[in-house]
Amino acid sequence: AVFLSALQKAADAYPKPQGVKFSYGTAGFRTLGERLPSVMFCCALLAVLRSKKLGGAAIGVMITASHNPEQDNGVKLVDPSGEMLDPTWESHATLLANCTSTESLITTFIDLAHHLRVELDACAPSSIIYARDTRPSGKKLVEAFEAGLSAFQGLKVVDLGVHTTPVLHYVVRATNARDGEQGKPTVEGYYERMAGAFKTLIGNRGPLPTLYVDCANGVGAPAISTLSSYLGTSLPLQAMNDSTTTPGALNSQCGADYVKTRQALPPSVEDAGLLDKPDTRSCSLDGDADRIIYYYLGEGGKFRLLDGDKIAGLVALFLMDLVKKAKLGQEGGEDTAEVGVVQTAYANGSSTKYLKGRGVPVTCVPTGVKHLHHAAQKYDIGVYFEANGHGTVLFSPSFLSTLAVHEPTSPDSSTATKQLLALSQLINQAVGDALSDMLLVEVVLAHRGWTAVEWDAAYEDLPNRLVKVEVADRFLFETTDAERKLTSPAGLQAVLDEAVGKVEMGRSFVRPSGTEDCVRVYAEAKTTAGVDTLATTVSDLVK
Ligand code: 16G
Ligand code: ZN
């Protein structure tokens, strides 16, 4: 075939580095940026294959390592609906990435195409959309990716350039949607749709007080500046940590992951002294702007965290109220739409109790966006958030059609119906999106007339600890029950249960990390002394 000789020639320039085993994990391939060129080349092949397999639908490729250090990088594929790559294809990615010669790469690729029943020579075109974050290694990785694409003819290719992960997901989803029903499939379309819905929802409630945004010195910085220009005066945004070209600055001492794990302000934000009033709220994005964490300084200047759990609670109860007001039932009756929340085992016990106490159904699933997203699709309105700030809200197609044809019987129900429709446009339903989630939080606070203080009052987090434990082989650790129980090593869970039983309101679980070579220990308890004991005991038992 024509492309084979081109492929051969191109692949020779991107040999796999020796002694590295690549694996397509929860967040795609992720490691030191300098190790990734051959992987990028393989991802081009895989993206072509995936698009051909799906009749030429547009596939996304995002080059980022999110909250990880600046020297790291990564790549993941996005399916036509804007969701993560179908998990059954992860092993195909791993297979290609580990080929040790051009010959084996080509054979593997052709075998894979055959096995997947994809006709490489047939004229079904492939369509690929890609973007990268601000990492210094990104440019070279894009070149390697493009070298892979160059072996094929007649591809439809869109290079979005430097953008956030959620922008890429949005454009892929909108490109594949019928009749522009997910918005215009462009970067401008993304900002326009979101900002337009925000202004509708804020109405005459604005302008809101200034919001301080820690951009983690990453791609969130230009995104916040662009968003600002679309928002006009409705929400003044002040960017902090927006140095995208300072070497070593990305995710260093700042960003959502820093704030969540340290449970403290980034030093730069502390030094700026801007959060001096209790109603001054601030937020941190992560390195590719798909996560967000809010916080403020409470009484006595005490740091108060408003994490993904707090966002889920705020948003779910607001949506429930709107659904009630919209009276979507027969003849103006209440009811009908179920608003549910999806969490992982990392959700603070207090948040789960708070939600259940208010009649919100809660599902617990294993870590990783694909699990949460999938479970959220089972509700009419599915709110999913990881405690680390990654999450979004999904409106089911049937709920959206109910809204569209609903004939409200009162002004109140008419307003609520319009607000639900605007929310479905404000929210990025493809993936967790720091910008869209930020606007969502701002909308709810504005409608409730709340500052961060009233939001925070919903419940008090149980003291908790997250500990990283280095072990000889993390693959020995296997879990069940949404990662809350170990099935291997044999007998360990019983010992852990005993330790947990000794601590008041204790809860703890152990799971192998999907992104780092370690196991993670989570513990919570009624008191800080209790949680410290529990975290230490469990960590020691695991070693
Ligand atoms: C990945 C996941 C994130 C999860 C994290 C856990 C996606 C896109 N991202 O970054 O949702 O919180 O892994 O990391 O699924 P861990 O397995 O190292 O604890
Ligand atoms: Zn991220």
Over residues 306-358, the pLDDT tens digits come to 999 999 999 999 999 999 999 987 665 666 799 999 999 999 999 999 999 99
Q: What angle do CA 416, 422, 425 make, to 5 degrees?
A: 150
Long-range contacts: 55-58, Cβ < 8 Å, 24+? 55/124, 56/124, 56/125, 56/126, 56/127, 56/156, 57/127, 57/176, 58/127, 58/128, 58/129, 58/156, 58/158, 58/172, 58/175, 58/176
What H or E segment, with its residue span, contains residue 520? strand 519-524
State which CATH number among 3.40.120.10, 3.30.43.10, 3.10.20.600, 3.30.360.10 fits the domain covering 188-306.
Answer: 3.40.120.10
Which residues are part of the catalytic machinery?
A: 66
Q: In this predicted structure, what is the pLDDT of residue 424?
A: 97
Ligand 1 binding site (Cβ under 6 Å of any ligand atom)? 26-27, 367-369, 386, 388, 390, 513-516, 520
290 Cα nearest atom in ligand 1: 8
| Average pLDDT across the chain, whole number | 95
Q: Topology of 309-434+450-456 in CATH?
A: Alpha-D-Glucose-1,6-Bisphosphate; Chain A, domain 3 (3.40.120)
Residue 391 alpha carbon to ligand 1 centre in Å: 12
Going by CA atoms, what residue is nearest to atom 12 of ligand 1? 368
Question: Are both 188-306 and 309-434+450-456 of the same fold?
Answer: yes
Q: Which ligand is nearest to the CA of 169?
A: 1
For residue 290, CA distances in Å to 31, 378, 447 come to: 19, 22, 24
Q: 362 is written with which tokens? A: 């809660």
Of 91-95, 122-126, 141-145, 301-305, give the lowest mean pLDDT range. Answer: 122-126
Rounded to whole angstroms, the Cα distance separating 183 from 193 reads: 7
Helices 411-426 and 187-202, interaxial angle, to 10°? 150
**Residue 120: predicted pLDDT:** 86
How many whole angstroms separate alpha carbon 311 and alpha carbon 327?
A: 25
Compute the average pLDDT of residues 420-442: 98
Distance from residue 513's CA to the centre of ligand 1 (Å): 8
CATH topology of domain 2-162: Alpha-D-Glucose-1,6-Bisphosphate; Chain A, domain 3 (3.40.120)
Q: Which CATH superfamily, name and number, covers 464-542?
A: Alpha-D-phosphohexomutase, C-terminal domain (3.30.310.50)
Q: For the chain, which residues make up each domain, given as ranges?
A: 2-162, 188-306, 309-434+450-456, 464-542
The pLDDT tens digits of the residues spanning 89-125 come to: 999 999 999 999 999 999 999 999 999 999 887 667 8
| Atom in ligand 1 nearest the alpha carbon of residue 346 | 12
Give the pLDDT confidence score for residue 179 in this predicted structure: 80
